[in-house]
Amino acid sequence: MSSIRNPETLSALDRPNSYIGKTVPRPNLDRLLQGRASYVSDMELPRMAHVAFLRSPHAHAKIVSIDAAAAKLMPGVIAVVTGGELAAVITPWVGVLSHLKGLKSAPQSAIAIDRVCWQGEAVAAIVAISRAAAEDAAEQVAVKYEELEAVADMRTALDPATPVIHSSLGDNLAFERVHDAGAVDQAFAASDAVVEAEFVFGRHTGVTLEPRAVVADWNAAEARLTIYQGTQAPHMVQNIAALHLGLREQQVRVVCKDVGGSFGIKVHIYADEMATYALSKLLRRPIKFVADRVESFNTDIHARDHCCKGKIGVKRDGTILAFEIDDLTGIGPYSMYPRTSAIEANQVVNLVGGPYTSKNYRARARVVFQNKNVMCQYRAVGHPIACSVTEGLVDLAAMKIGMDPVEIRRRNLIADDAYPCASPSGLRFEQLSHQASLTKIVEMMDYQALRADQAALRKRGIHRGIGIASFIEVTNPSAAFYGVGGAKISSQDGVAVRLDAQGSVICQTSITEQGQGSEALTAQIVGSVLGVSMDRVRVILGDTDMTPYGGGTWASRGAGIGGEAALQATKVLRKNILDVAAVILQSTPAELDIVDNAVINVSDGAFRIELNELARIVYFRPDTLPPGIQPELMATKHFVPREYPFAFTNGVQAAWVEVDTDTGFVKLLKHWVVEDCGTIINPQLVDEQIRGGVVQGLGAALFEKCIYDERGQLTNANLADYLVPMSGEMPDIDVGHVVSPTKESELGAKGAGEAGTAGAAAAVTNAVNDALKPFATIITEIPLTPQVILTALGRI
Amino acid sequence: MKASAFAYARATSLANALELLATHGDKAKVLSGGQSLIPAMNLRLVSPELIVDIGDLGELRGIAVKGETLVIGALTRHADLLKSSHIVKCAPLLAAAVAHVAHPAIRNRGTIGGSLAQADPASELPACMLALGATIVVRGKGGERRIAAEEFFTGIYETKLGPQDLLVAIEVPVASPGSAHFFQEFARRHGDYAIVGLAAQVMRQGDRFADLRLGFFAVGDTPVLAKAAAAMLTGAAITPELLAEASAALASELNPHEDQQATPAMRRHLARVLLARCLATLLNRPDLQTGAGV
Amino acid sequence: MTTPVSISLTVNGERVEAHVLPRLNLADFLREHLKLTGTHVGCEHGVCGACTVRVGGEIVRSCLMLAVQVNGAAIETIEGLSDSGEIADLQAAFRDRNALQCGFCTPGMLMAAQDLLRENGKPTREEIREHLSGNYCRCTGYHAIIDAVENAALARTEPQA
Domain positions in chain B are: 7-53, 58-173, 179-288
pLDDT tens digits for range A119-152? 999 999 999 999 999 999 999 999 999 999 999 9
Instruction: Check B190 against A716: CB less than 8 A apart.
Output: no
Instruction: Check B189 against A715: CB less than 8 A apart.
Output: no
**Is a pLDDT exceeding 50 seen at residue C21?**
yes
pLDDT of residue A11: 56
**Is a pLDDT exceeding 50 seen at residue A24?**
yes
Query: Cα distance from B114 to chain C (closest Cα, Å)?
Result: 14
pLDDT of residue B185: 98
The SS3 call for residue A363 is: strand
What average pLDDT score do residues B198-212 get? 95
Asked whether the beta carbons of A725 and A698 are under 8 A apart, the reply is yes
| Cβ partners under 8 Å of residue A536, min gap 6 | A503, A504, A505, A527, A597
pLDDT of residue A13: 62
pLDDT tens digits for range A599-625? 999 999 999 999 999 999 999 999 999
What average pLDDT score do residues B265-280 get? 97
Q: Let me know how many helices (H) and strands (E) chain B has, helices first.
A: 12, 14
The whole-chain average pLDDT of chain A stands at 96
Please give the Cα distance from A211 to A514 (Å, whole number). Answer: 13
Amino acid at B50: L
Does any CB of chain B come closer than 8 Å to the CB of residue A629? no
Residues linked to residue C25 through DSSP beta bridges, in sequence order: C66
Alpha helices in A625-682 (DSSP H): none
| Cβ partners under 8 Å of residue A469, min gap 6 | A387, A388, A391, A652, A653, A654, A759, A760, A762, A763, A766
* CATH topology for the A44-148+209-262+265-299 domain: Aldehyde Oxidoreductase; domain 3 (3.90.1170)
* Distances from the Cα of A74 to the Cα of A70, A126, A244, A291, angstroms: 7, 11, 31, 22
Among the partner-chain residues C39, C43, C78, the one whose CB lies closest to the CB of A719 is C43
Instruction: Check A210 against C135: CB less than 8 A apart.
Output: no
Chain C hits for B35, Cβ within 8 Å: 46, 61, 64
Among the partner-chain residues A261, A263, A733, the one whose CB lies closest to the CB of C143 is A733
Among the partner-chain residues C39, C98, C143, the one whose CB lies closest to the CB of A732 is C143
Instruction: Check B273 against A293: CB less than 8 A apart.
Output: no
Percentages (nearest 5) of helix, strand, coil residues in chain C? 40, 15, 40
What average pLDDT score do residues A471-494 get? 93
Is the domain spanning B179-288 CATH 1.10.3720.10? The answer is: no
Please give the Cα distance from B144 to B161 (Å, whole number). Answer: 12
CB-based burial label for C57 (10 Å; 0-12, 13-18, 19+): exposed
**Residue A565 confidence class, pLDDT cut points 50, 70, 90:** very high
* Distances from the Cα of B96 to the Cα of A297, B91, B93, B222, B252, angstroms: 35, 9, 5, 21, 27
Asked whether the beta carbons of A131 and A290 are under 8 A apart, the reply is yes
Considering the domain B58-173, what is its CATH architecture? 2-Layer Sandwich (3.30)
Chain C hits for A516, Cβ within 8 Å: 101
The SS3 call for residue A328 is: strand
Strands (E) across A202-260 are located at 203-205, 213-219, 224-229, 252-255
Q: Report the CATH number of the A382-479+646-792 domain.
A: 3.30.365.10
Domain pair B7-53 / B179-288, same fold: no
**Is a pLDDT exceeding 80 seen at residue B198?**
yes
| Cβ partners under 8 Å of residue B171, min gap 6 | B69, B70, B71, B72, B134, B135, B137, B146
Strands (E) across B18-84 are located at 28-31, 50-53, 63-66, 69-73
Quick one: which of A634, A445, A442 has its CA closest to A530? A634
Cis? peptide before A338, omega within 30° of 0: yes
Please give the Cα distance from B222 to B218 (Å, whole number). Answer: 8
**Is a pLDDT exceeding 90 seen at residue B189?**
yes
* CATH topology for the B7-53 domain: 3.30.43
Domain pair A44-148+209-262+265-299 / A492-639, same fold: no
pLDDT of residue C158: 82
pLDDT tens digits for range A583-592? 999 999 999 9
DSSP secondary structure letters along A164-208: PSSGGGSSSEEEEEEEEES-HHHHHHH-SEEEEEEEEE-EEE---
**Residue C2 confidence class, pLDDT cut points 50, 70, 90:** confident
pLDDT of residue B289: 84
The whole-chain average pLDDT of chain B stands at 96
Residues linked to residue A670 through DSSP beta bridges, in sequence order: A656
Chains that touch C (3 or more CB pairs under 8 A): A, B
Instruction: Check B42 against C63: CB less than 8 A apart.
Output: yes
Please give the Cα distance from C23 to B4 (Å, whole number). Answer: 7
* Distances from the Cα of A537 to the Cα of A192, A418, A519, C28, angstroms: 61, 41, 10, 36
pLDDT tens digits for range A631-688? 999 999 999 999 999 999 999 999 999 999 999 999 999 999 999 999 999 999 999 9
Query: Cα distance from A718 to chain C (closest Cα, Å)?
Result: 8
User: Order of strands, edge to edge, in the sheet holding A115-116?
Assistant: A115-116, A61-67, A142-147
3-class DSSP string for A22-44: CCCCCCCHHHHHCCCCCEHHHCC
pLDDT tens digits for range B129-159? 999 999 999 999 889 999 999 999 999 999 9
pLDDT of residue A2: 38
Helix A405-412 and helix A383-401, axial crossing angle in degrees, nearest 10: 110
Query: Cα distance from A467 to chain B (closest Cα, Å)?
Result: 22
pLDDT of residue A15: 75
Among the partner-chain residues A41, A727, A732, the one whose CB lies closest to the CB of C41 is A41
**Residue A8 confidence class, pLDDT cut points 50, 70, 90:** very low
What average pLDDT score do residues A531-551 get? 96
3-class DSSP string for A269-307: ECHHHHHHHHHHHHHCCCEEEECCHHHHHHHCCEEECEE
Nearest chain A residue (CA) to C81 = A34
pLDDT of residue A7: 35
pLDDT of residue A12: 55
Among the partner-chain residues C2, C60, C63, the one whose CB lies closest to the CB of B108 is C60
DSSP secondary structure letters along B147-193: EEHHHHEEETTEES--TT-EEEEEEEEPPPTTEEEEEEEE-SSTTSP
pLDDT of residue A28: 87
What average pLDDT score do residues C1-30 get? 95
pLDDT of residue A513: 95
**Is a pLDDT exceeding 70 seen at residue C159?**
no
Instruction: Check A728 against B269: CB less than 8 A apart.
Output: no
**Is a pLDDT exceeding 80 seen at residue B214?**
yes
Chain B hits for C71, Cβ within 8 Å: 10
Please give the Cα distance from C20 to C18 (Å, whole number). Answer: 6
Please give the Cα distance from A522 to A393 (Å, whole number). Answer: 41
What average pLDDT score do residues A474-495 get? 93
What average pLDDT score do residues A692-703 get? 98
Instruction: Check A727 against C40: CB less than 8 A apart.
Output: no
pTM over 0.90: yes
Asked whether the beta carbons of B5 and C23 are under 8 A apart, the reply is yes
Does any CB of chain C come closer than 8 Å to the CB of residue A36? yes
Q: Report the CATH number of the A492-639 domain.
A: 3.30.365.10
Per-residue DSSP letter, B208: E
Amino acid at B137: V
Instruction: Check B261 against A131: CB less than 8 A apart.
Output: no
Among the partner-chain residues A292, A691, A719, the one whose CB lies closest to the CB of C140 is A691
What average pLDDT score do residues B277-288 get? 94
Instruction: Check A787 against B266: CB less than 8 A apart.
Output: yes
| Cβ partners under 8 Å of residue C72, min gap 6 | C8, C9
Please give the Cα distance from A792 to A785 (Å, whole number). Answer: 11
**C10 membership: H or E segment, kind and range:** strand C5-11
**Residue C160 confidence class, pLDDT cut points 50, 70, 90:** low
**Is a pLDDT exceeding 70 seen at residue C88?**
yes
**Residue A3 confidence class, pLDDT cut points 50, 70, 90:** very low
Q: Can you list the domains of chain C with their CATH numbers? A: 5-81 (3.10.20.30), 87-157 (1.10.150.120)
CB atoms within 10 A of CB B121: 24
**Any idea where the domains of chain A sit in the sequence?**
44-148+209-262+265-299, 382-479+646-792, 492-639
